[in-house]
Structure 1
């Protein structure tokens, strides 16, 4: 048995294997639910109802999906150019730190100006965080998988130091959290009385802009070319290193918007547990979306629905919420296999 490349995969082949992968994931999750002593169809029904069975549940799913769209886009952009950004978590916290520093009274501007200024500053911070390992990669050949991954832990320790020091809220009764953002620095809610904020709208706008960049601009063409074959792109005269640096700026900025939206739109302050792993989950989202920016939105809502629904299911059926983590892990593994079978066929000989 050997793998033979498929030169031009058909649309049916491209869609069929990922669909089968998701179906097998659901079947495997059902079997796991049976092993946990629950009705598999009942568990899946509870997850669906917990994620979208009411207005409150649907809005919570969209709230949870908002940072996942940003981190999923960050990973999709980087991976498309074969820049392995595993550090979206650090870039997220970089954006959150800048949001707190500028949004707690450092700037005195009207909300219509202050919010965009903070958002752009957050993007710049995230871009710089990813730019450092990218420069190390293009100048010295340092593996960016290692540097971006380690930066996650370094930045978490840095944030912990800030929350125990200069950013600690004097009125926080000793808890390691920052002061709350002033009202002018907050992202408004989409409707009065709802938790869903305009960070979700910003995430949709970002997905659309990334799609335009990838499909309609020279940079997008260069990113795809570098990702497919950097040696051929360099031979054709493309500035491969510059393309990687531009990709890093865009990817890091997108991941930082996740931290900005969580602080300015939902939480209002910074804590060390701001992200329960949004940066890492963004990798799953990007892979489920096959690195398509518009598909990232769908994948983020799907993943968020599993998490929100699993919380509700756990309370109703007594099944551990770890089932959601297993489902997502299996979905990622199945999707990687599906991508491989889309691009290669198994032949005998």
Structure 2
């Protein structure tokens, strides 16, 4: 009798097919629930499509959401290849934004010089913020999940203190905000700034580094089996530190792009959970750097759809529940992709896949 059997690996095509089925189930389920609540599902669907992928304004919003998600998702993906979890992307995002804002507010000069300096300082700030968890993990085997997570709250409070205290806007008196930065990342298309294509290039470059360099090879091997890597003479501790520092720099660069390209000022709450959403992006990407791009697009689309639904008087809690449902079904689909129907074993032969 045929039965389902779980296999350790699944093809990319099978995973994609299962994810598409999960998204279809999510759309049907949400549509039925909205129809039961008295909503015009057809009109609502048309509005969502026109406000996201069906209009220039919607596409601009998608690109703005994708820019930080590409970098925070890549930040988590780098550490996942090392077998680690960087849960501190939110804090590193804040530190990158603070470092960039400090340069923009207090160092004057042409944008062609100030913007690269802002990016460098932002990345150094993110690396500094993750340095202690990296050293603790490498030399004392302290769980990096706890240390990076707790530092998120410290970073958030630090930014609030800067924005309401020494760096507060003394011109307009805006609450929890600095004055507008005198320099900004130039716009590429509408409100979409050059940080978006740069983030895409960074993701592509990171994929190339992971697949074609000795460093990337040693990171992959160390993440797969630290014991084997040590036996082969690879510096596992150095690779742990370098991977986590790179992760912190990527998340911090996302903060620089946000403060210099989108928000144009340092303010409390500006991270908008991009650091935490980067974890979801990395999980959807399943360890592939290039897969971060479609994963970030899906996450950005979900966020954009959520905003559109809220404009139609759908409660934020309902939007959050819809988002959770979509992500849950995608996670289930990823697991289902590993199962196949196998025929019963015959004498002298092993079971073989029939799917």
Structure index of larger Rg = 2
Structure 1 unaligned regions, length at least 5: none
Structure 2 unaligned regions, length at least 5: 345-355
TM-score under structure 2 length normalisation: 0.87
- The structure with higher relative contact order (CA 8 Å, sep 6+) is 1
Do the aligned partners of 2:156 and 2:269 also contact (CA within 8 Å) in 1?
no
User: Cα gap change, 1:333/1:312 in structure 2, threshold over 3 Å: closer, same or farther?
Assistant: closer
| C-alpha distance in 2 between matches for 1:27 and 1:245 | 45
Match of 2:267 among 267, 271, 296: 271
| C-alpha distance in 2 between matches for 1:251 and 1:277 | 17
| C-alpha distance in 1 between matches for 2:220 and 2:242 | 13
TM-score under structure 1 length normalisation: 0.89
5 Å matches for 1:327-342?
327-342=322-337
CA offsets 1:1-29 (integer angstroms, 9 cap, x no match): 997543x5444434333333333333333
| C-alpha distance in 2 between matches for 1:333 and 1:309 | 17
Corresponding residue for residue 126 of structure 2? 126
Q: How many residues align?
A: 342
Do the aligned partners of 1:49 and 1:309 also contact (CA within 8 Å) in 2?
no
Do the aligned partners of 2:18 and 2:337 also contact (CA within 8 Å) in 1?
yes
Deviation at 1:299, TM superposition (A): 1.9
In the TM superposition, structure 1's runs of 4+ consecutive aligned residues that sit over 6 Å from their partners are: 344-348
Do the aligned partners of 2:51 and 2:57 also contact (CA within 8 Å) in 1?
no
Do the aligned partners of 1:126 and 1:256 also contact (CA within 8 Å) in 2?
yes
| C-alpha distance in 2 between matches for 1:35 and 1:162 | 48
Corresponding residue for residue 78 of structure 2? 77
Point out the more displaced range, 91-100 or 41-50.
41-50
Do the aligned partners of 1:92 and 1:257 also contact (CA within 8 Å) in 2?
yes
User: Cα gap change, 1:195/1:329 in structure 2, threshold over 3 Å: closer, same or farther?
Assistant: same
Do the aligned partners of 1:167 and 1:178 also contact (CA within 8 Å) in 2?
yes
5 Å matches for 1:99-118?
99-106=100-107, 108-118=108-118
Corresponding residue for residue 351 of structure 2? none
Do the aligned partners of 1:103 and 1:118 also contact (CA within 8 Å) in 2?
yes
User: Cα gap change, 1:39/1:287 in structure 2, threshold over 3 Å: closer, same or farther?
Assistant: farther
- Residue 201, structure 1, aligned to residue 202, structure 2: no
Corresponding residue for residue 352 of structure 2? none
User: Cα gap change, 1:57/1:13 in structure 2, threshold over 3 Å: closer, same or farther?
Assistant: closer
CA offsets 1:48-102 (integer angstroms, 9 cap, x no match): 2221221111111211221111111111111221211111000000000011110
What is the root-mean-square deviation in Å for CA atoms of aligned residues?
Answer: 2.5
